[in-house]
Amino acid sequence: MIKKVLIANRGEIALRIVRACAEMGVRSAAIYTEPDRYALHVKRADEAYFIGEDPLGGYLDARRIVNLAAETGCDAIHPGYGFLSENAEFSRICNERGIAFIGPSAEVISRMGDKTEARAAMIGAGIPVTPGSDGNLQDLDEALLVAEKLGYPVMLKATSGGGGRGIRRCDTPQELKQQYPRVISEATKAFGSAEVFLEKCIVDPKHIEVQILADKHGNVIHLFERDCSIQRRNQKLIEIAPSPQLSDAQRDYIGDLAVRAAKAVNYENAGTVEFLLTGEDFFFMEMNTRVQVEHTITEAITGVDIVREQIRIAAGLPLRYQQSEIHYRGFALQFRINAEDPKNNFLPSFGKISRYYAPGGPGVRTDTAIYTGYTIPPYFDSMCLKLIVWAMDWEDVLDRGSRALEDMRLQGVKTTASYYQGILHDAEFRSGVFNTSFVVNHPELLNYSEKRHPNDIALAIATAIAAHAGL
């Protein structure tokens, strides 16, 4: 069994991995750059190592991280999500040094990270894919010809893209001409590759993804699906498991597709196969070769500890479950509480947290690395907390989510929490039928009011009095 894991990440996912290691009797080693000197994952890990002043550089230096793991006696590295988690070279270096990479092989990461190769692999496995270009585009002229053949609107995508970046919708030839150099520029800066391809734009789809686990012995299972349709500019906001929009037949079908997709590329460890649903048709979109931000809600409905299973798989152990043993109960929601101001075009709101109180009660979980007095640095993603709620039925989970959001206190920065309250009370969302255009089609939900709890008002008055009295 793996004895010591270096966590090549930060924030809430690093802390999540620390906790899984602790439960398994595995030592954990954290890394941090200067802005994270007082971060919670640094305090909670068994060991912590400083990797430089540069806020981002240390987390992106694959060879340095692997060398540190070797020097400190770590026999495995968990990359979390983001940073180097889908970097094939990172996985390859780990393998060269005899350190287990808690994720798939370099070959699989490379193949699935290249969107055109991933499409080709899925076509070969009989998985339906969105109609698109045959490989990467050579130039703008080819892009215009392919778009004319597919019919507008089309999606221009970076081949190595991810996380909602390097994607542009084009409704006319003129828009395609404008967006082509922009996407190439963004792709080159963000992913180091200028390659792009085209897909037919599926208008107003539902975004459904399936969690899979695969071991080194050829066993692959799925843990049902998550609905990620509530998103803004391709960035997920609220995730739901299972999807309230699928029939049992659709659920079985898409689960089978995900398992076939994983087997087609000899996948190992945890992964997510993402689909677009339009009408009754599912289309493969991409495969994420890492643990997802929203793995929490799959854990809530199935009881499977996904991070624990990742570590077991990386150690060479077989899956503990067969597909027939995987069942789900109830519904779970995850709210990405971002340090952003929804009323100001979701502008990031970094700064010091003056007060934080986590909600609790039955079926409530918070994954975060913040605390009262913690300063959210401006160098990283704006997500500062994940609030997860579970209940036996749809109406109950909506009500529990509203109550938990109301219970939470996170002051000192603007957040998306109040905006989510509006979504929860919207009739369309509560009906359980919505698609990826929900946010853009409901701009009125941004007209929410910031309610102040009586206790907050009393605290503010007491603070003012104390300050005036010189206490």
Please list the active-site residues.
290
Query: 343, 299 in Cβ contact below 8 A?
Result: no
Identify whether the C-beta of residue 354 lies closer than 8 Å to the C-beta of residue 372: yes
Q: What values do phi and psi take at 347, rounded to 5?
A: -65, 135
Secondary structure (DSSP) of 9-39: --HHHHHHHHHHHHHHT-EEEEEE-GGGTT-
For the chain, what is the radius of gyration of the CA atoms? 22
CA distances from 81 to 8, 147, 238, 352, 431 (A): 9, 33, 18, 25, 32
Question: Cβ neighbours of residue 232 under 8 Å, at least 6 residues apart?
Answer: 346, 439, 440
Question: Contact at 8 Å (CB) between 92 and 106?
Answer: yes
3-class DSSP assignment, residue 446:
helix
Residue 125 contacts residue 281 (beta carbons within 8 Å): no
Contact 232, 186 (CB under 8 A): no
φ, ψ at 95 (rounded to 5°)? -60, -40
How distant, in Å, are the alpha carbons of 8, 23, 137, 169, 312 from that of 47?
13, 16, 47, 46, 21
380 phi and psi angles, rounded to 5 deg: -120, -175
Residue 3: both structure tokens together: 């004895």
Rounded to the nearest 5°, which phi and psi values hold at 110? -65, -45
Beta bridge partners of 275: 208, 284
HSE (side-chain half, CA atoms, 13 Å) at 375? 9
H/E stretch holding 297 reads: helix 295-302
Tokens 């509560």 belong to residue? 430
CB-CB contact of 349 with 381 (8 Å):
no
101 Cβ contact list (under 8 Å, min separation 6): 76, 77, 79, 90, 91, 94, 95, 314
Please, are residues 287 and 274 in contact by the beta-carbon 8 Å criterion?
A: yes
